[in-house]
Chain A
Amino acid sequence: MSTMTYATPKPLSRRSFLQSTAAAGAALTLPSAAWAQAEGQLLVWLPGGSDMFCKIHTGLLESFSAKAALGSATTVCGLGQDAEFTQALIGSITAGNPPDISMLWDSPVSLGAQGAFMPLDDMMKGSKIPIETWPAGLLSSCQFKGVTYGLPVTAGVYSMWYNEELFEAKGIPSDRASFPKTWTELRKLSKEFTEWDGDTLKVAGFMPNRVAETMAIWSALNGGMLFDEANLKYVLDSEQNIEMMNFFVDWFDEEYKGDVNLIDRSSNFRDGYPDANTGMGPAFREGRQAGMQSGSWLMGDIYADPVPVFTRWNLAPNPYGPSGTASVSGTWPNWFVIPVGSKNAQAAFDYLSYLAVEGSVDWYQQIPDVPTNSQVKLKAPTGLVEKRGQEFADDLTAFLGTQAEIVTPMWNSPVQSFGNDQVARAIEKIYTKAQSVKEALAEAQAASQAELERVLAG
């Protein structure tokens, strides 16, 4: 009869194995506790941006930290842009371990209204940055039902950019005062430049707007709005907005063959940067576009790759539409918020005050995001002074200051991203002729209003 022997693996029993696994697991979780934000420190989060952007903000926090004698201060850069960054921020808030203060590149209204950010109104009273030192149009991008959930410390200010050299080559006056005041004048001027070679757009004048984020400015230029903050109501299919889109489509059909694909396969005529998907353009820097609407941040990037083929460009106020009466401007702010659960809320607010008044001067000199607090004394960006001289840089800085004073309310909906996506959808449907102006705007209106009511329902 054979016998059976059982192997006895002495070196590690199952019990020891399980015990050691548990110990290893516990050891691995310990460092996460060490990373948790503690009192006496200041942790600042930034969305994406260039290395220079991160360096500037690290320097600003270090300066403030030295002045305020903080224990430690850390700037975390490059946590992702747009949705990724917001996800990370919300994740940290719900986990109870948020940064003390964070920059946002999307309106704080939506998340603020849901209770993600601390109301700042009480802290602002009697502080260095009381509410009356902020332009109302800009501040509305942070307010919901009278509560302020963040501050637009600096902002890219939208205005019309134009190539002075192209103007002069056609014998058209290139000074700011001579720039078209109305859409009709702009459209007439645009024709002077536009050249087609078969189905290729060689040179364009100005383009009717196709950018969803700036549609609120164009609507205001035509006497309308996209979101009625006072009555908490979307008005995307208002008469002014239908008139605006009809004007654009008519212009587009007449001057640009009514085909977005022909334009998009010719170059990037939408903004001053290379197209993210195709790498084409930008036509403006290539000297193939007379002008466009863009934010002031382009002043910091325009001399980077691809270097413009011309030297002289200038800025002018946005022209107004058939139902408009005056020029208005718009912004894309750099908002700062103090998340709920911040361990050092007061220190965070003090840093916010510092950034808004002192820090933003240094910031603007290196990256031309315009400081928005009325107490700031602007100094021209050093890069621009080097390229175009002190006089031009000072003139442009003064111009942007005046534009910041006529900012139309935007970014102020509690369902901002949803509404913006609906506007983008409508624009695409209209320009690709998939829907009429009325149909597309009515659909966008219905969807945005339904989402707004769902969120407001509590």
Chain B
Amino acid sequence: MGLSAQHNKAGAVLPPRRLARAGRGEARAGFLFALPWMVGLTIFTIVPLLLTFYIAQTKFQIVGPPKYVGFANYEAMWTDPAVWTSAGNTMFFAAVSVPIKLVMALGLALLLNRIAALSGFYRTVFYLPFLMPAVAGSIVFMLLLTPDAGPVNIALEALGFNPPDWLLDPKAALWTIILLSLWPLGVETLVFLGGLQNIPKDVSEAADLDSPRGWHKLLWITIPMISPMILFNLVIGIIYSFQIFTQALVVGGTTGKPAEATLMYVVVLYRTAFRYFNVGYAAAMATVLFVGVLLLTLLIFRTARSWVHYEGESR
């Protein structure tokens, strides 16, 4: 093959000018096909993001034009007890719910990976809760957890326990929200299951020969082999947990009942924008959340170099 011509996949040779023209045509077609997505991304993501940064520096009450106030909204956040309370609740929620969810999803995936019969059925069953709207799921849980008449407390009392006031007691309410968030595990489980099924059989068999103890294999073979999936579920879990909204709003309303125990950061953001119509302040809260989650995600990616192993990677 000469320098002035190249083979296509079928072995055909195109002259350079035609190749260049075809390449430009391909590029144009590619660009046109990507254009709707790029327009959508620009209009619905990039522009709103930039607008949020701008609005965060204004006093904007929806009705009437925004007025530039510099960093006044950020300064006000420092002294706002609702921001600190909700940020504390949200961080606690993220710190507790994400690890529990990962462990439960991994456990479920390990079980599903061993089941041969009806595996499709079980996967569907575990994925179904994810398809239920969060509002409906939360209401069902609220009815189940009703203090006196709820089936959960009736069952616990029958077994001799002294059940908590799940959603009435400020000490129990946040844990109840965490419990609610653990219910739809389907996506994380399927991601782990995909990783488990990609572990080469020879590696797995070799591990079985080397050590009869199951947990050795889990710790030294399985977990390292699915570490990219753990990273993925961890990052997505963190992002979602910092944005918890629906369950918290349904359970605690905009005031985080009882006694602000369920008051989450995004609920405060929502009520600031759409109940108090203080959109500038809400935009500042959104900006802080964006930067916070971004930094946390970058930190996770930075540490991931030491614990995530990719196939074919050498160190």
- Give the contact stretch, choosing among B124-132, B271-279, B301-309: B271-279
B49 within 8 A of A: no
**B275 and A83 within 8 A (CB):** yes
CB-nearest residue of chain A to B67: A458
In B17-35, which residues have CB < 8 Å from any A CB?
29, 32
What's the minimum C-beta distance from A99 to chain B, rounded to whole angstroms?
15
In A404-458, which residues have CB < 8 Å from any B CB?
415, 417-418, 421, 424-425, 428-429, 432, 434, 443, 447, 451, 454-455, 457
Cα-based distance from A457 to B73 in the complex (angstroms): 14
A277 within 8 A of B: yes
- Give the contact stretch, choosing among A48-56, A109-117, A315-323: A109-117
- Give the contact stretch, choosing among B88-96, B179-187, B191-199, B250-258: B250-258
**B81 and A443 within 8 A (CB):** yes
**B32 and A261 within 8 A (CB):** no
**A111 and B258 within 8 A (CB):** no
**B146 and A264 within 8 A (CB):** no
**B12 and A265 within 8 A (CB):** no
| Residues of chain B with a CB closer than 8 A to A429's CB | 259
What's the minimum C-beta distance from A447 to chain B, rounded to whole angstroms?
7
CB-nearest residue of chain A to B149: A280
CB-nearest residue of chain A to B153: A265
**B168 and A261 within 8 A (CB):** yes
The contact size tier of chain B is 35 or more
Secondary structure call for the A interface: helix
| A417: contacting residue among B8, B150, B275, CB under 8 A | B275
**A114 and B64 within 8 A (CB):** yes
Cα-based distance from A233 to B92 in the complex (angstroms): 36
B148 within 8 A of A: yes
Cα-based distance from A375 to B59 in the complex (angstroms): 43
A93 within 8 A of B: yes
Cα-based distance from A179 to B154 in the complex (angstroms): 40
A344 within 8 A of B: no
**B63 and A114 within 8 A (CB):** yes
**A425 and B260 within 8 A (CB):** yes
Please report the number of residue pairs spanning A and B whose Cβ atoms sit closer than 8 angstroms: 99
A2 within 8 A of B: yes
Provided the pairs A94-B62, A432-B170 are in contact, do residues A2 and B12 lie with their beta carbons within 8 angstroms? yes
Cα-based distance from A148 to B278 in the complex (angstroms): 23
**B148 and A115 within 8 A (CB):** no
Cα-based distance from A341 to B107 in the complex (angstroms): 59
**A278 and B147 within 8 A (CB):** yes
**A417 and B276 within 8 A (CB):** yes
**B142 and A434 within 8 A (CB):** no
**B254 and A115 within 8 A (CB):** no
Cα-based distance from A280 to B149 in the complex (angstroms): 8
B111 within 8 A of A: no
Cα-based distance from A83 to B165 in the complex (angstroms): 28
Provided the pairs A4-B10, A428-B258 are in contact, do residues A264 and B147 lie with their beta carbons within 8 angstroms? yes
**A115 and B29 within 8 A (CB):** no
Cα-based distance from A415 to B276 in the complex (angstroms): 7
CB-nearest residue of chain B to A457: B59
**A2 and B10 within 8 A (CB):** yes
A365 within 8 A of B: no
Cα-based distance from A230 to B52 in the complex (angstroms): 37
In A68-109, which residues have CB < 8 Å from any B CB?
83, 86-87, 90, 93-94
| Residues of chain A with a CB closer than 8 A to B176's CB | none
**A425 and B255 within 8 A (CB):** yes
**B11 and A278 within 8 A (CB):** no
**A261 and B165 within 8 A (CB):** yes
Residue-wise interface mask of B (233-261) relative to A, using a CB-CB cutoff of 8 A (1 in contact, 0 not): 00000000000000000000011011110
B169 within 8 A of A: yes
| Residues of chain B with a CB closer than 8 A to A424's CB | 255
B61 within 8 A of A: yes
Cα-based distance from A419 to B63 in the complex (angstroms): 20
Residue-wise interface mask of B (143-163) relative to A, using a CB-CB cutoff of 8 A (1 in contact, 0 not): 100111110000000000000
Cα-based distance from A252 to B195 in the complex (angstroms): 58
A11 within 8 A of B: no
A14 within 8 A of B: yes
| A418: contacting residue among B10, B169, B276, CB under 8 A | B276
**B260 and A428 within 8 A (CB):** yes
**B63 and A14 within 8 A (CB):** no
| Residues of chain B with a CB closer than 8 A to A2's CB | 10-12
Provided the pairs A116-B63, A278-B149, A447-B81 are in contact, do residues A421 and B271 lie with their beta carbons within 8 angstroms? yes
| Residues of chain A with a CB closer than 8 A to B165's CB | 261, 264-265
CB-nearest residue of chain B to A339: B63
Cα-based distance from A432 to B171 in the complex (angstroms): 11
| Residues of chain A with a CB closer than 8 A to B63's CB | 90, 93-94, 111, 114-116, 340
What's the minimum C-beta distance from A215 to chain B, rounded to whole angstroms?
14
CB-nearest residue of chain B to A415: B276
A31 within 8 A of B: no
Provided the pairs A94-B62, A111-B277, A115-B63 are in contact, do residues A432 and B254 lie with their beta carbons within 8 angstroms? no
**B10 and A280 within 8 A (CB):** no
Cα-based distance from A454 to B12 in the complex (angstroms): 72
Cα-based distance from A428 to B262 in the complex (angstroms): 13
A171 within 8 A of B: no
B13 within 8 A of A: yes
**A279 and B143 within 8 A (CB):** yes
B167 within 8 A of A: yes
**B12 and A1 within 8 A (CB):** yes
| Residues of chain A with a CB closer than 8 A to B143's CB | 278-279
What's the minimum C-beta distance from A85 to chain B, rounded to whole angstroms?
11
Cα-based distance from A421 to B80 in the complex (angstroms): 14
CB-nearest residue of chain B to A84: B274
Chain A residues in the interface with B (C-beta under 8 A):
1-4, 14, 18, 83, 86-87, 90, 93-94, 110-111, 114-116, 260-261, 264-266, 277-280, 340, 415, 417-418, 421, 424-425, 428-429, 432, 434, 443, 447, 451, 454-455, 457
7 A-B pairs whose Cβ atoms sit less than 8 Å apart in the complex: A14-B29, A14-B32, A115-B63, A265-B148, A265-B165, A417-B276, A421-B254
* Shortest Cβ-Cβ A-B pairs, 9 listed: A265-B147, A116-B63, A278-B146, A428-B259, A4-B12, A114-B63, A432-B259, A261-B165, A418-B276
- Given contacts A1-B12, A94-B63, list 6 more A-B pairs with CB under 8 A: A14-B29, A110-B277, A111-B63, A425-B260, A428-B257, A432-B259
